[in-house]
Amino acid sequence: MANTERAASPGLNRRALLTAGIVAGSSLAISSGSATADTISQQVPWAPGEANNPAPVATGGYQFFTQDEVAWVDAVVSRLIPKDELGPGARELGVTVFIDRQLAGAYGRAERWYMGGPWAKGTETQGYQSRMAPAQLYRAAIKAVDGYCRNGFGGKAFVDLGAEQQDKVLGDLEEGKAKLEQVDGKAFFKQLLLNTQEGFFADPLYGGNKNMAAWKMIGFPGARYDYRDFVSKHGQRYPLPPVSLYGRPHWTPKG
C-alpha cells in the first residue's frame, strides 16, 4: 500500500482499519474447543479454582496453510494493514498465524454453523453466506486469486506483483470487479479483511497482536481487572500498559 492508503480504494487507510477493528463484531469462533453450553438453574454457577484457564495457541509451524499459502496471506495482510509511522503492521503482529489457527480449528470447519442451504445470494446486511466452510473458502480463493493475477499480469502470482499491482487486485476484489472461479471475490475480500482486523486486535492468546502492540497503539487496557478510575477521564491517554488474558510477561513467576 503506497504510504498509508491503498491506491485502489482511497477511503480505506490504516487509521480507518484501526478504528473499524475496534467496533467490528467478531466473526471468529475464537475458541478451538467443542464444549457445549450448560443450563444452570437454582444453583450458584461459580466455584473458586474451577474456571477454564485460557490456553494460548500452539507454537511452531503452520497447521492449515501450506508454505505457498503462508506467503500469499503474509503479502495480503501486509497490504491491508501495513507497517508505517504508527507502528507494526498485520504481518509483523502475527495475523497470518492467527488466521491459520482459526482455519485449522472449529471455525475453519464451520462446526457450529448451519451449512445446509439453501444457497441464495445474501444481502449486504447478512453475514457469512458461502456454502464453503471458511477453510475451504480460503483454499479455493487463494488459488482463484492467483489465477486472476496470472491472467491479468503476464503469468505472475499475487506474491510476485508489485505493491501497486497488489493494491489494484485487492481493490478489484473489494469492489466486486474481480470475477473468480468458484468463489465470490467480493465476499471473500470482506471475510479476509474482517479476519485480518480480528487477528490484529485479538488477545495475543490467539496468535496475533504480538506483545499487545495493537492495543498499545490505540490505548486499549486489554483484560485488566479494574480500570474504573480512568473511565471518566475522557480525552486523556490511559497511563497503564495493557494486560492479556494470560497476564503480562513480568507477572509470570520465575521457576
Strands 5-6 and 9-13: antiparallel
CA nearest to 213, candidates 118, 93, 83: 93
pLDDT > 70 in the chain, percent: 77
CA nearest to 115, candidates 88, 98, 135, 97: 135
- Sign of the alpha-carbon dihedral angle for 157, 63, 197, 87: negative
Query: With bands split at pLDDT 50, 70 and 90, how would you rate the model's confidence at 231?
Result: confident
Span 15-42, average pLDDT: 56
pLDDT of 125 reads 81
Query: With bands split at pLDDT 50, 70 and 90, how would you rate the model's confidence at 90?
Result: very high
What are the tens digits of pLDDT across the range 206-225?
A: 999 999 999 999 888 898 88
Span 183-198, average pLDDT: 95
What are the tens digits of pLDDT across the range 109-164?
A: 999 988 888 887 778 787 788 889 999 999 999 999 999 999 999 999 999 999 99
Distance of alpha carbon 193 from alpha carbon 174, whole angstroms: 9
For 186, the enclosing helix (H) or strand (E) is: helix 185-201
pLDDT of 59 reads 80
Contact (CB, 8 A) for 245 and 223: yes
Helices (H) then strands (E): counts for the chain: 8, 2
Reported pTM: 0.78
Least confident of 14-23, 202-211, 240-249: 14-23
Question: Domain segments of the chain: what residues?
Answer: 8-23+56-112+127-220
